[in-house]
Structure 1
Amino acid sequence: MGNRILVVGTYDTKDDELTYLARRIRAQAGEVVTMDVSVLGEPKAPTDISKHDVAAAAGSSIAAAIAAEDENTAMQIMATGAARLARQWFQAGRFDGVIVLGGTMGTDLALDLCAALPMGVPKYVVSTVSFSPMIPPERLAADIQMILWAGGLYGLNSVCKASLSQAAGAVLGAVRAVEPPTRDRPLIGMTSFGKTVLRYMVALKPALEARGFEVAVFHATGMGGRAFESLAAEGAFAAVMDFAPQEVANHLFGSAITAGPDRMTTAGAQGIPQMVAPGCYDLLDVVGWHAPPDRFRDHPAHAHNRLLSSYLLGAEERRMVAREIAAKLAGATGPVTLFLPTQGCNEWDRPGAPLHDAGGLAAFCEEIRAVCPATARLVEIDAHINDAAFAEAVLAEFDDWCARGVIRA
């Protein structure tokens, strides 16, 4: 059972708050390792990892950070060093979870540090800007936890102590309770949405498990895509079934529901075998309480709930999505099969359904045929993506890949 927490912050300006946080962890029989990421001042007492250690890990020095005379440059030096040291110390077994305290500067650094640690390591950020739109989704570690540092901009008080003490209990409880991901079975990463719109996982998950694989299904609504890409970057997947690449369209057209510009590229860059299908390619998801981009105001829409609305793409916009998907797949270094269900790609686009557009579907299929990269195998299926025929075609390809040793067990 782990109980060692890495506590990170600027000890020159937040010593009292960081010391209080450490005291609350120790009061619950936890152990503390401290890291100072300040630049100008000194902590009241030495830390386990000094600011000089941090700067040196970035290939720099505190003197160089000060000489830059720019707080952004200085903090990026410290962020680089903190991320490298955190990764090294975790790999050496010197802590079990991390908590970082900060305002905008500390949060900027915290995002890099947390992203450097593997999935399953408890990562807590206590920040004055937690949940802020200033934080882009692509910088969030897939399993990061954030707690608003209410009333904590300067000095201790009863309001901020409530936040800090909860955070101390949260990170310590997490390291004691966490069951990290195992690697006892090869893992398949699959993207999808809920069963009201995409259903292939209902048939595929048990069939793949019966073949000896573990299946993780990611909800492709921004952060789900980030988790998917993060694990792909770690090389965690034996293969991916990226059947809901709607985040690609969201990013292309400026929606806030984005997984970042590297969506649908990481698995390919790692050489991981990819099966791809255009589930919900025809929809632009936007935050339900945001106004849609101007170009989509007159498009048919579906209000999924108060958080999420989907706008139907027109024929030319679908062609743009086809080209974007093809461009991303063209960079893959591993095998790629692109499945094209020619009768539709989400439950709302069937004939008679509210978002059916036969002309738009035909335009997309035509464009995919034209732009599919030579490095990808295009498999057309005369069925809807939610029909049994789609899942059967996927399993047939999967079995062939296994037989030929394409998938790494």
Structure 2
Amino acid sequence: MSTAPPTVALIGTCDTKLDELLYVHDKLVNEYGVQCKLIDVGRTPSQHPSIAITQLDIFVSSGIDPPSDLQSLPRGKLISTIIKHTIPLVKSLRESGAIHAALSMGGSGGTSLGSEVMRAALPLGFPKLIVSTMAAGDAHPFVGESDLAMMHSVVDIAGLNDILCPILDNAAGAIAGMARAQRARLLEGPPPSPTSGISPASPGNKRIAITMFGVTTPAVTHARKLLAAYPCTTYVFHASGAGGRAMEKLAVAGFWSGILDLTTTELADALLGGVLSAGDARLTAAAHARIPQVVSLGALDMCNFGPRDTVPGQYRGRNLFEHNPSTTLMRTTAEECRVLGRQIAERLRYADQDNTAVWIPKKGVSALSVKDAPFWDPDADAALFAAVKEGLNSTQIRVIEEEREVNDPLFVEGMTVVLVTKSCGKRLAPSAHEVWRELVLESIFITRRTSAQS
């Protein structure tokens, strides 16, 4: 086994932050015992013995000369140009095993540059850290659905001082440790997946994605217990916007054997302007990738906002529930639920219809919408259910209605049995109850299919 130390890619604008970059470079090499490749992504080329990859090297690696007007480009155009040519360079360094972690630092421009390069060039599981003035604000534009870590610089990265230096020291120590861990994984474990950078599942093991929210946690917990009896690995995604986007991105890459999309609440935030939207592509990737999926309507009774005083004015008179001091939930109305039901049906129409099913929990789509709970609203739920059924009526997609709530163990068992059958081609070891249940479900499906065809 090689004993060479791991290498950290240090990405920064050397024309404006050379002193700070050299401080981190020297910490990495001299105190933390790792190698460092300092990559200059500045507007004006810099010269220093510690710069391993110059600005010119970045363009040469792409097979072109730097644009003649590079120095005069507007800031946004400059950043996008350097990003375009830095991504393949960093990706090549990672694929060849030349680097084991990446660190960047900067203000808004440097953070935008570093984060976009890391997200595009470095897969999930590969260590990536940015020290940024932007880390204490809305970090979503920089992190997206990736596993990028951000550390707040507190002061601007503009001069070494007794506030900034300890923070840079911590960042150097953190990324050095992560680089060692990454190198150990590469030396001791199986090769990374070309799609995600994550070690592949063991032979015969299936990857199952599950979506969860606090108000559907009991359902997901039970599903995980059931799936533990089968050779599959479960990956639970918090339906926080970023969670849904990450799951969809991995679906596009063909990462999943099946998806238990139990919690589709992010659709409500996208429709109503909530803070946990996963965007308009939610519930589309599995359909286009032809991945088996069992979908339910978990937490579509709510849209998420921050503290109560951040709820938009037009919603102030609605049924609001303070989930915690940082989160206020708003009950969706019958008309909003009707729109959500239509959206679900429309997006699923493009799915592999033989391997897609929708399960409707008629007694409540979350822990808050069961009878006597704050979001109990039978009319709104009925509008949601009717819209889903009407939208899928002319398809072969199986729709199962149950007089149970989403967290009922028997409701979850039904969804899980169908998913395992569809995604793995085998059944979980069935109980007598499950065998009876599947026969009933299949008779419902056959009856409905025959009706649709006639």
Partner of residue 113, structure 1: 117
Listed as ranges, the matches of 1:12-161 within 5 Å are: 12-26=15-29, 27-45=31-49, 47-55=51-59, 61-64=65-68, 66=70, 69-116=73-120, 117-133=122-138, 135-136=139-140, 139-161=143-165
CA pair 268-74 structure 1, distance change in 2 beyond 3 A:
farther
Residue 237 (str. 1) matches residue 256 (str. 2): yes
Deviations along 1:88-139, whole A, 9 cap, x unmatched? 2211111111111111111111221221221111110111111322x43585
Question: Kindly tell me: are residues 112 and 261 of structure 1, through their superposed partners in 2, closer, same or farther at Cα, counting changes over 3 Å?
Answer: farther
In structure 2, C-alpha distance between the alignment counterparts of 1:223 and 1:119, rounded to whole Å: 14
Partner AA of 1:381 in structure 2: E
Aligned CA distance change for structure 1 residues 5 and 403 (closer, same or farther; 3 Å): closer
Map Cα deviations across residues 35-88 of structure 1 (whole Å, 9 max, x no partner): 221122323336333323434566764325617622211111111222222222
- 8 Å contact from structure 2 (residues 270, 279) kept in 1: yes
User: Following TM superposition, by how much is the alpha carbon of 1:214 offset from its aligned partner in structure 2, in angstroms?
Assistant: 0.8
- Residue deviations 1:229-267 (CA, integer Å, cap 9, x gap): 343344332211111121121122112223334333333
Q: Is the 8 A contact 2:45 2:56 kept in 1?
A: no
In 2, the alpha carbon distance for the partners of 1:152 and 1:398 equals 51
Separation (CA, whole Å) in 2 of partners of 1:357 and 1:57: 60
Please state how far the C-alpha of 1:192 moved relative to its aligned partner: 0.6
1:395 partnered with 2:416: yes
Change (3 A) 1:167 1:392: same
Identify which of 401, 404, 415 aligns with 1:380: 401
Residue 342 (structure 1) aligned with residue 362 (structure 2): yes
The equivalent residue for 2:373 is 353
Q: Which amino acid aligns with 1:188?
A: I
Q: Secondary structure at the match of 1:241?
A: strand
Give the number of the structure whose alpha-carbon radius of gyration is greater.
2
Residue type of the alignment partner of 2:104:
V
- Within-5 A mapping of 1:302-313: 302-313=321-332
1:326 and 1:68 mapped to 2: Cα distance? 50
Is the 2:43–2:71 contact (alpha carbons within 8 Å) kept by the matching residues of 1? Answer: no
CA distance in 1, matches of 2:150, 2:423: 41
Verify the 8 A CA contact 1:35 1:50 in the aligned structure 2. Answer: yes
CA contact (8 A) 1:137 1:258 kept: no
2:276 to 247, 257, 276: 257
Alpha-carbon RMSD across the aligned residues, in angstroms, is 2.6
* Aligned residue in 2 for 1:169: 173
User: 1:62 & 1:290 partners in 2: Cα distance?
Assistant: 50
Query: How far apart are the structure 1 equivalents of 2:124 and 2:76?
Result: 28
Identify if the C-alpha distance between structure 1 residues 308 and 248 changes in structure 2 by more than 3 Å, giving closer, same or farther: same
Q: Distance in 1 between matches of 2:376 and 2:366?
A: 9
Question: Contact 1:58–1:80 at 8 Å: present in 2 too?
Answer: no
Conserved? CA contact 1:5–1:32, under 8 Å: yes
Deviation at 1:168, TM superposition (A): 0.5
**Is the Cα–Cα contact under 8 Å of residues 321 and 329 in structure 2 kept in the other structure?**
yes
Aligned-residue offset at 1:305: 0.7
Measured after TM superposition, the shift of residue 331 of structure 1 is: 4.5
- With over 3 angstroms needed to count, the CA separation of the structure-2 counterparts of 1:176 and 1:229, relative to structure 1, is farther
Q: For the residues of structure 2 that align with 1:283 and 1:138, how far apart are their CA atoms?
A: 27
Q: Mean alpha-carbon deviation: is it higher for 253-262 or for 165-174? A: 253-262
- The aligned length equals 404
Q: Is the 8 A contact 1:271 1:332 kept in 2?
A: yes
| Pair 33,404 (structure 1): closer, same or farther in 2 beyond 3 Å | same
Distance 1:153 1:34, change over 3 A: closer
* Structure 1 equivalent of residue 239 of structure 2: 220
Secondary structure at the counterpart of residue 235 of structure 2 = strand
Give the Cα–Cα distance (whole angstroms) in 2 for the partners of residues 318 and 60 of structure 1.
Answer: 53
**C-alpha deviation, 1:32, in angstroms:** 0.9
Q: Deviations over 1:166-190 (max 9, x none)?
A: 1111111223346665522322111
Gaps of 5+ in 1: none
Percent of pairs identical after alignment?
A: 26
Partner of 2:430: none
Q: What SS does the corresponding residue of 2:16 show, helix, strand or coil?
A: coil
Task: Please point out which of 202, 207, 213 is paired with 1:187.
Answer: 207
384-393 or 17-26, which deviates more: 384-393
